[in-house]
């Protein structure tokens, strides 16, 4: 079966520093792929390159067979790759539901003149979009808070909202950059079951960068390990956990509170 995403010889140099060097990785439809490694290994750089936020220095990215290597962020989103950021990147002064509505930009289908002249069909379309936003909020468990300002949400809920905004794209592929960072055990467990539900109920493929080892081991179907920009291991959680190179690079040094 052809992979949904093919990372071929992906490279990124910042000056003389090789942040990512000749990365080769296939991501298969419907899997949750973990991307782990010590700090500075290049994981977020890989995510940024896939998401179009950074230009690769070399290599290729094929999404569903199409070359998306040099696509800017908005075209990547159009193609169906969504992402969440390492920090809580939200429209802080908008309400929860308006944040998701903002994420529904590509499905707005509202023409410029209809919008400018405030024609009646626009209002109907807006109402439909808000309904859809509400459905997404229900899925992530934030329907109660829909009118609260994003800035007032506790951290765990903000993270869930970031996921909701990314889901507005209805993306076949999701890039999750540290989705459970800064969460307590209960929030982590909720987020993980959400990501699992995304795969099971919506068939969404996820690439997850994480430092939380329990989360990664418990959730991911496969794991790739980066160290100093290079892939040093790839396989099932059990295989990777037992790999001496991986253990040497970093497993066991991480001390999470949970």
Partner 1 sequence: MSSKISMIKHSSIPAFIIFLFLIPIFLKNTYWLHVLGIAGINVILVSSLHTIRSTGEISMGTGGFMAIGAYTSALLAMKLGLSFWLTMLLSGVLCAAVAVILGYPLMRTKGIYFSILTLVTAEVFRLIAWYYSSLTGGAVGLSGIPSPNSIPIPGIGTIIFETKVDYYYLILVITLLSLLVLFRLQNSQVGFVWRNIREMDHLAASVGINVLRYKIFAFAIGSFFTGIAGALFAHFMHLLAADTTGKFGMTTSIYILIYMVFGGEGKYMGPVLGAFILTVLPETFRAMKEYQPIIFGALVILIVFFMPQGIISFPDRILSWRRRKETSDRMPLQSS
Q: Which stretches of the chain bind partner 1, using CB under 8 A? A: 51-53, 72-74, 77-78, 82-83, 85, 89-93, 102-106, 108, 110, 112, 115-116, 118, 165-166, 168-169
- Residue closer to partner 1 by CB (options 111, 242) is 111
**Three-class HEC string of the chain:** CCCCEEEEEEEEEECCEEEEEEEEEEECCCCEEEEECCCCCCHHHHHHHHCCCCCCCEEEEEECCEECCCCCHHHHHHHCEEEECCCCCCCCCCEHHHHHHHHHHHHCCCCHHHHHCCCHHHHHHHHHHHHHHHHHHHHHCCHHHCCCEHHHCCHHHHHHHHHHHHHCCCCCEEEEECCCCCCCHHHHHHHHHHHHHHHHHHCCEEEEECCCHHHHHHHCCEEEEEECCEEEEEECHHHHHHCHHHHHHCCCCCCCCC
Q: How far is the CB of 153 from partner 1 (least distance, A)?
A: 15
Minimal distance in Å, beta carbon 183 to partner 1?
Answer: 20
Residue number with CB closer to partner 1 (164 or 215): 164
- CB of 175 or CB of 188, closer to partner 1: 175
Minimum gap (Å) between residue 39 Cβ and partner 1: 21
Closer by beta carbon to partner 1, 127 or else 185: 127
Q: CB 100 → partner 1: shortest distance, Å? A: 10
Going by C-beta distance under 8 Å and a sequence separation of 6 or more, which residues neighbour residue 128? Answer: none
CB-nearer residue toward partner 1: 84 or 224: 84
Q: What is the nearest approach in angstroms of partner 1 to the Cβ of residue 119?
A: 11
Q: CB–CB of 207/27 below 8 Å?
A: yes
Least separation in angstroms between residue 151's CB and partner 1 is 11
* Closest separation in Å from C-beta 178 to partner 1: 15
Radius of gyration of the chain (CA): 19
Cβ distance to partner 1 smaller for residue 98 or 189: 98
Token couple for 111: 């023409």
Give the residue with the Cβ less far from partner 1, 1 or 117: 117
């Amino acid at each position: 079966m052809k992979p949904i995403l093919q990372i071929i010889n992906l490279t990124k140099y910042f000056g003389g520093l090789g942040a990512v060097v000749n990365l080769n990785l296939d991501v298969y439809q419907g899997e949750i792929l973990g991307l782990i490694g010590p700090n500075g290994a290049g994981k977020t750089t890989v995510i940024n390159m896939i998401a179009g936020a950074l230009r690769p220095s070399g290599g290729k990215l094929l999404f569903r067979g199409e070359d998306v290597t040099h696509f800017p962020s908005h075209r990547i989103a159009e193609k169906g790759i969504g992402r969440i950021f390492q920090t809580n990147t939200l429209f802080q002064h908008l309400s929860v539901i308006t944040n998701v509505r903002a994420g529904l930009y590509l499905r707005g289908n509202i023409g410029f003149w209809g919008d400018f002249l405030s024609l009646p069909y626009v209002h109907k379309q807006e109402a439909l979009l808000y309904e859809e936003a509400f459905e997404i909020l229900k899925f992530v468990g934030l329907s109660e808070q829909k009118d609260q300002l994003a800035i007032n949400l506790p951290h765990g809920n903000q993270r869930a909202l970031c996921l909701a905004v990314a889901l507005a794209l209805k993306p076949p592929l999701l890039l999750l950059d540290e989705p459970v960072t800064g969460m307590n055990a209960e929030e982590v467990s909720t987020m993980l079951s959400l990501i699992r539900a995304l795969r099971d109920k919506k068939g969404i493929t996820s690439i997850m960068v994480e430092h939380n080892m329990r989360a990664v081991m418990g959730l991911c179907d496969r794991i790739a390990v980066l160290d100093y920009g290079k892939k040093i291991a790839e396989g099932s959680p059990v295989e990777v956990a037992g790999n001496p190179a991986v253990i040497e690079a970093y497993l066991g040094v991480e001390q999470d509170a949970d």
